[in-house]
Structure 1
Amino acid sequence: MSGRVERCKALVLRHIDYGESDRIVSFLTAEFGLQKGFAKAARKSRKRFGAALEPFSQVVVHWGSGRGQLWSLQEVELLNSRSGLRTELERLALASYSVELVELLLEEGEAHQQIYELICAFLDYLSQAGDTACARLLLELRLIYLLGYIPHLLHCSECLKIFADEPVRFDAARGGSLCLQCASGGGIEISLGTIGSLARSLNVGHQQFSGFRFGQRTLDEGGRMLSQVLASVLPRSLKSVKFL
């Protein structure tokens, strides 16, 4: 790659100021996964970078080999700033939450096109004033599904009994849904309606967020379920969750 300038589409996750005028920028790309780039004189050069390094922006990155694992950013073209995210604190907080989730769940340099598509679609939906509660539930569910962490939903994770019209418990540490006999008083109570809604939503494309209308019970129960799952796979607690 030495001497060559590569280009790819990317999502800006965050940036930090470095020195007097430089920036280190974190990106998510479909081809190269999580990456960091060094933008020399970014706070002075409007021509090469402009406002393209702001978080949640969709961009085209032109880069070459740099210091260690850092890309040397030559130019960044802005495609979509997603300015709608900055009109409400709730949307901005949820966008920041999605970025932190991705940074903790993915290894640096691990390409995952579907995760890239999912996060971009999620931010697009949020920036267009979509339903934040439904969007968060779908984002969390699809992330754990695409990364292979999806729990058992429609049958008991221990005896494999398919649920009919009966109470259900849920315990992420034991694999997911549990019948009452296997649960033995453990886990949290979940309705069949909730686990059915979550399971059915996985049959829809991972980039679709519009058209979903979850009831409050599904949002509450589903949120508790997915919080358990995420807590079991994340390396640390999420800093951004306290702002939601």
Structure 2
Amino acid sequence: MPLYRDEAIVLRTHKLGEADRIITLLTRQNGRVRAVAKGVRRTTSKFGSRLEPFTHVDLQLADGRNLDTITQAETLAPFGAAMGADYERYTAGTAMLEAAERLVTEEREPAVQQYLLLVGGLRALAAGEKAPRAVLDSYLLRSLSVAGYAPSFDACALCGLEGPHRWFNPSAGGVLCSTCRIPGSATVAAETLILLSALLTGDWDAVAGAEDRAAREASGLVAAYLTWHVERGLRSMAYVERS
């Protein structure tokens, strides 16, 4: 079987047989990959701990008909070690892993931007210098944009009229003017829209200066926008602290 190397983030694992695991990966060059790690559940395994969720790894894999096989694994960054004892960081990171798997829908198709966004988001969570909720919201907005669901927080999402506007509707793609307003649209504070734009563009000074009320409202809108575009909510979002 031909071999190839790639960097990856471990997204998810599940058991296969008595000693193996199927590892779901987001790789730099090959997008989402599912691969078998043989014997990884044995205590004698050479790389069992390197293939846990959150781990940034350098892998050698063998091409397979249905599933590839991991033949080598070296740890580049054990992001999970920094987050495992912190509930907020751990749950935010879990939501990021689940979102990445849902937004990169095709296996073995390049998704370099999604990979880089995930690595950057997990690195920020592990560093602990930014609020986990803000890191998660910023990651979700950016990854949705890369996936083709970029929200509009200034111009009307339907007619393009420059804002600011007061109403937000996930199904319409962002803020709406008074003419295009759809029944059921949320009325959003101006401070919240400024914060959402800052999260999308990575303006961390503006994010750090936002009031808690705006942060809570922004998080709710990000969750609603994500849920609409991935068709069903992420299970892990139910555990993310947003107060």
CA apart distance, 1:26: 0.9
Looking at structure 1, the residues matched to 199 and 237 of structure 2 have their Cα atoms a distance apart, in angstroms, of 23
CA RMSD of aligned residues (A): 2.2
* Cα shift readout 1:31-80 (whole Å, capped 9, x = no counterpart): 111101111111226463141111111111111123x3311111111222
The answer (yes or no) to whether the contact 2:195–2:218 under 8 Å persists in 1 is no
Change (3 A) 1:184 1:173: closer
Q: Which residue of 2 aligns with 1:128?
A: 127
Q: 5+ unaligned residues in a row in structure 1: which ranges?
A: none
- One-letter identity of the residue aligned with 1:111: P
Looking at structure 2, the residues matched to 220 and 54 of structure 1 have their Cα atoms a distance apart, in angstroms, of 31
Runs of 4+ in 1 over 6 A off after TM superposition: 208-211
More helix per residue: 2
Between 18-27 and 180-189, the greater mean CA deviation after superposition: 180-189
How many residues are treated as equivalent by the alignment?
236
CA apart distance, 1:201: 4.4
Q: 5+ unaligned residues in a row in structure 2: which ranges?
A: none
Change (3 A) 1:185 1:15: closer
Change (3 A) 1:178 1:10: same
Q: Which residue of 1 aligns with 2:176?
A: 178
Pick from 225, 233, 242 the counterpart of residue 221 of structure 2: 225
| Partner secondary structure for residue 183 of structure 1 | coil
Q: TM-score, normalised by structure 1?
A: 0.87
| Partner secondary structure for residue 49 of structure 2 | coil
Q: TM-score, normalised by structure 2?
A: 0.87
CA apart distance, 1:25: 0.8
CA apart distance, 1:24: 1.0
The answer (yes or no) to whether the contact 1:9–1:61 under 8 Å persists in 2 is yes
- Which structure has the bigger radius of gyration? 1
The answer (yes or no) to whether the contact 1:17–1:24 under 8 Å persists in 2 is yes
Give aligned-pair identity as a percent: 26
Looking at structure 2, the residues matched to 59 and 215 of structure 1 have their Cα atoms a distance apart, in angstroms, of 37
Looking at structure 2, the residues matched to 20 and 56 of structure 1 have their Cα atoms a distance apart, in angstroms, of 23
Looking at structure 2, the residues matched to 170 and 211 of structure 1 have their Cα atoms a distance apart, in angstroms, of 21
The answer (yes or no) to whether the contact 1:60–1:77 under 8 Å persists in 2 is yes
Change (3 A) 1:180 1:33: same
Change (3 A) 1:175 1:131: closer
| Partner secondary structure for residue 58 of structure 2 | strand
